[in-house]
Amino acid sequence: MTQAQRPTRVPWLRLVQIVCTLGLGVVLARSIDWASFGASLASLRWGFVALAALFLLAAHALNVVRWRGLLPPGAIAPGTLAAYYGAGLFCNNFLPTGIGGDGVRAALAARHVALPPALLSVALDRGVGLAGLGLFLLPALWFGLPAGLGDRLALPALPSQWLWVLAVIAIGAALGGAGALLYGRGQQLRGLLTRVAGSEQVPATARRGVRGWAALLLNTYALSVCSNLGTIAAHWAILAALGISVSPGAAIWLVLAGSLSMLLPISINSLGVLESVFIVVLAAYAVPAPTALAVALLARALSTLYSLAGGALSLRTGGWAVKEPTAKLLN
């Protein structure tokens, strides 16, 4: 991207995101009964909040292990890799960067390995993570669509065998969508890989055979499923912390719908979008909007807490400086 192109695209996108963020914030502020919101938080059960924090911590730890498995063996020490992951987490939540947390992770990993395997590891990590989340469509459909949503859409009751067929189709669609997203990013990654191909050695991961790749992807996929399970468990604990008694499927639908909303570049870090999605999903379970907003804000607070912790960890280990050649390639 040239300097002449950058001012014509990024500032306009950022301006639209700022306007949408402020607009959604105003709409939410005017539509919520803040007295009921305060009452929901007043009865908060902190034991479940702590449990949610532990589940979320386990999910992040599994994400670091998954990313490490996609890098050349022994290339980066576990503590350093955790700091790099924390830097990416911080950038995803706080910095209006053009390359995002994934780009930061790739740039920092490129201090230890060639840029192509660094980029490949981050791209695969993102794709496998989305694919792992898609597996939870099966239990989500098993528990059933949110009752209120199903009634609004007037969906017919289906036999159990058809539910399994729909689940398989939905999982296939999710995997296909994850592949499409990965391919879309791959167009940019291929350009970077071409620019460094003449000077960088072939990544060790590219020399894996079919069995090696199958084992690698199976292991990382299993880690992704476990990580997403930790995130779902964290949301279940948040619901329990606010005294909301609903089907376990509610936590799954919250994570699925919330993850999809995070992919939409409508607002800054999906502020307002994620909260609105939580309100809509939980309204189908007869949860009042103020209580649903408390769920969303509590989930965001825990996410922000770990983002700040990740940023602090990366600062302590000196993980922010990026080598000049790598920075040029990522711009």
Spatial distance between the Cα atoms of 129 and 93, rounded to a whole number of angstroms = 18
Q: 253 and 140 in contact (C-beta within 8 Å)?
A: yes
What is the pLDDT, as a whole number, of residue 135? 86
Residue 87, C-beta contacts closer than 8 angstroms, at least 6 positions apart: 101, 104, 105, 108, 310, 311, 314, 319, 320
What is the pLDDT, as a whole number, of residue 192? 46
Please report, for residues 4, 87, 159, 291, 326, the alpha-carbon distance to residue 104 in angstroms, rounded to integers and kept in the order given: 23, 7, 48, 36, 10
C-alpha closest to that of 287 among 11, 35, 36, 1: 36
Torsion sign, CA atoms 283, 235, 255, 28: positive
C-alpha closest to that of 288 among 49, 37, 41: 37
Please report, for residues 141, 153, 164, 253, the alpha-carbon distance to residue 160 in angstroms, rounded to integers and kept in the order given: 10, 19, 7, 19
Residue 175, C-beta contacts closer than 8 angstroms, at least 6 positions apart: 131, 134
3-class secondary-structure state, position 139: helix
Query: Which two structure tokens, joined as six digits, stand for 111?
Result: 């201090």
What is the pLDDT, as a whole number, of residue 227? 96
Torsion of CA 269, 271, 273, 277, to 10 degrees: 100
Spatial distance between the Cα atoms of 236 and 239, rounded to a whole number of angstroms = 5
What is the pLDDT, as a whole number, of residue 167? 56
CA angle 55, 304, 33 (to 5 degrees): 95
* Per-residue pLDDT of the chain in tens (331 residues, 90 and over written 9): 444 444 445 576 667 777 777 887 787 777 788 888 888 888 899 999 999 999 999 999 999 999 998 888 888 888 899 999 998 888 887 765 545 788 889 888 988 888 888 888 898 898 888 888 888 988 887 887 776 555 554 444 445 545 555 555 655 655 555 555 545 554 554 554 444 444 344 444 445 556 766 777 888 999 999 999 999 999 999 999 999 988 888 999 999 988 888 777 777 777 888 888 899 899 888 899 899 999 999 999 999 999 888 888 877 765 555 554 444 444 4
Spatial distance between the Cα atoms of 113 and 126, rounded to a whole number of angstroms = 19
Q: 69 and 220 in contact (C-beta within 8 Å)?
A: yes
pTM for the predicted model, two decimal places: 0.76
Spatial distance between the Cα atoms of 271 and 129, rounded to a whole number of angstroms = 22
Q: 143 and 252 in contact (C-beta within 8 Å)?
A: yes
Spatial distance between the Cα atoms of 285 and 144, rounded to a whole number of angstroms = 12
Spatial distance between the Cα atoms of 328 and 126, rounded to a whole number of angstroms = 23
Read off the DSSP letter of residue 272: T
Spatial distance between the Cα atoms of 299 and 201, rounded to a whole number of angstroms = 43
Spatial distance between the Cα atoms of 115 and 106, rounded to a whole number of angstroms = 7
Spatial distance between the Cα atoms of 150 and 9, rounded to a whole number of angstroms = 40
